[in-house]
Amino acid sequence: MKLVGDFRDFLSDTVNLNQTRLDRLEDRITAIKTFIRDADWEPRISAFIEQGSWAHGTIIKPVDGGEFDADLLVKVHPIVGWSAAQYVRELGRAFLDSNRYGDKTVVYDYCVTITYADDCKIDIAPLVMDRDQQGALEVCNKRKDEFEDSQPVEYTRWMREKNGYSGNNSFRKATRLIKYIRDIKKRFSCQSVLLTTLIGHRIEWWDKDSGAFADTPTALSRGRGRKTVKDYRAQPSAVAETRYERSRVARLALKVMRTVVDLRSHGSKIFVPRVGAHCRLLR
């Protein structure tokens, strides 16, 4: 028995970020874009790019009073003479000096973070285009005052491509479930981007329309023991490392399945009090 309906209900009721929060996030992102366009921040804006779990469709509901965050990249044309730190520092100054965002703003190494009174944070990071060569994209490390190559658009395209190989968005749903287990169990820490990438390597183009990832429980079961193309090409030491990573995914998938079975057998009133960990935000 696959318990497809139970997985669907568990995702909808417990894991997925609810529509009210998503609508509020969209409104706040729109307001931030307008603020940046109207601010005295010098760089000429080319585009705004959604990034992270929000863009990938793997964002989940905060656990036990935690927070969820969204990433927004501001793609800008370079300014001659500006250092990497200057892009972040000056963007932070624009927010810190404003009446609307001043008390909500913290400036970090790569981004400016706006923390709202509820459970939402928004990270805004400068992304400099064509600085040294045409087509180059670079994020800005304020602490080291260095530009660093980045491919956020390509990564998001890769994630959406992987999900397209699955049926009924099962790749995204399985990813949300594994992230949820990470957050409530607190037995290991792994940045969401790394965890999502690891899961992404479980599915390949030949899985499309095959039924291998046709639904959420099948995706969890199939992904937890599968080898990737890299396994066969890797050196022995790399194979051992990949096997370790694969077993880690397997253990997480099994925990997800047991959790849903618990929910089905005993009801949410028994399950919910066991959720004692808060969502750890990893940058």
Per-residue model confidence as pLDDT tens digits over 174-187: 899 989 988 888 77
Say yes or no: 159 and 148 in one domain: no
Say yes or no: 121 and 240 in one domain: no
Say yes or no: 110 and 188 in one domain: no
- Rounded to whole angstroms, the Cα distance separating 230 from 222 reads 17
Say yes or no: 9 and 76 in one domain: no
Say yes or no: 261 and 163 in one domain: yes
Helices marked H in the chain? 4-10, 19-38, 53-56, 84-96, 152-165, 170-185, 192-200, 216-223, 229-233, 236-266, 268-271
Residue 184 is predicted with a pLDDT of: 87
Say yes or no: 171 and 112 in one domain: no
148: in domain? yes
Helix (H) or strand (E) holding 107: strand 105-107
Which of 152, 179, 208 lies at the terminal end of a domain, its last residue? 152
Full domain range(s) for residue 8? 4-15+155-274
pTM: 0.76
Percent of the chain whose pLDDT exceeds 70: 78
Total number of domains constituting the chain = 2
Which of 137, 152, 167 lies at the terminal end of a domain, its last residue? 152
94: in domain? yes
282: in domain? no
Residue 95 is predicted with a pLDDT of: 98
Residue 242 is predicted with a pLDDT of: 41
283: in domain? no
Say yes or no: 75 and 200 in one domain: no
Residue 210 is predicted with a pLDDT of: 80
Say yes or no: 130 and 196 in one domain: no
Say yes or no: 183 and 143 in one domain: no
Beta strands in 116-160 (DSSP E): 120-129, 137-141, 146-149
Say yes or no: 75 and 124 in one domain: yes
**Segments in the chain below pLDDT 70:** 1, 222-283
Q: How far is CA 59 from CA 95, 181, 239, 245, in A?
A: 25, 13, 30, 22
Residue 170 is predicted with a pLDDT of: 87
Residue 255 is predicted with a pLDDT of: 52
